[in-house]
């Protein structure tokens, strides 16, 4: 149980760091220029906190545990990439299909981001757990 709590904590920290860099620095102007009036002036932090807390549970279950079982960061990276891809694809393509003004380029870029971040966070989580000696 301890290694799963550790996996959750590590994945949450990695995810928050990477997502903050992506949304706040790297792609900030990209989203702002393409989404315009769809964006709030300030995020709803409570809703965001619930998303992050729950998403990481699913992420650890579907993305990280396979790598933990195999003691292989690359297995976690693959599963994390797939989880990120399907989760972000579902969000973006649902928005694209039902929201007026949702941008197709945003949908593709954001889905790509979810895939890359999923691989990095899941692989990184397992690598850190191995380094800490919590998995062999």
**What are 19-65's pLDDT values in tens digits?**
999 999 999 899 999 998 888 888 899 999 999 999 999 999 999 99
pLDDT of residue 39: 86
Alpha helices in the chain, H assignment, sequence order: 2-21, 28-35, 45-59, 65-70, 73-98, 104-131
Structural domain span for residue 123: 2-131
Residue 136 lies in a domain: no
Within a domain: 53: yes
End-to-end Cα separation, the chain, in angstroms: 16
Q: Check pLDDT > 80 for residue 118.
A: yes
Per residue in 74-116, pLDDT tens?
999 999 999 999 999 999 999 999 999 899 999 999 999 999 9
Angle subtended by helix axes 104-131 and 73-98, to nearest 10: 160
Total domains in the fold of the chain: 1
Q: Is residue 50 part of a domain?
A: yes
Instruction: Answer yes or no: is 20 within a domain.
Output: yes
Phi first, then psi: what are they for 42, rounded to 5°?
-130, 140
- Taking the C-alpha atoms of residue 84 and residue 50, their distance in angstroms, rounded to an integer, is 17
Which pair of structure tokens corresponds to residue 86?
């399907």
CA nearest to 61, candidates 79, 73, 49, 47: 79
Work out the average pLDDT over 123-131: 97
């Amino acid at each position: 149980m301890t290694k799963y709590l550790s996996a959750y904590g590590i994945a949450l920290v990695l995810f928050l760091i990477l997502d903050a860099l992506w949304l706040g620095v790297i792609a900030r102007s990209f989203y702002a220029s393409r989404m315009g009036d769809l964006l709030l002036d300030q995020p709803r932090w409570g809703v965001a906190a619930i998303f992050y807390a729950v998403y990481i549970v699913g992420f650890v279950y579907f993305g990280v545990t396979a790598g933990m079982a195999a003691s292989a960061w690359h297995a976690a990276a693959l599963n994390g990439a797939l989880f990120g891809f399907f989760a972000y694809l579902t969000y973006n393509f649902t928005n694209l299909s039902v929201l007026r003004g949702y941008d197709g380029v945003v949908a593709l870029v954001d889905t790509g981001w979810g895939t890359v971040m999923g691989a990095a966070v899941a692989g990184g989580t397992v690598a850190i757990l191995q380094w800490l000696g919590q998995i062999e």
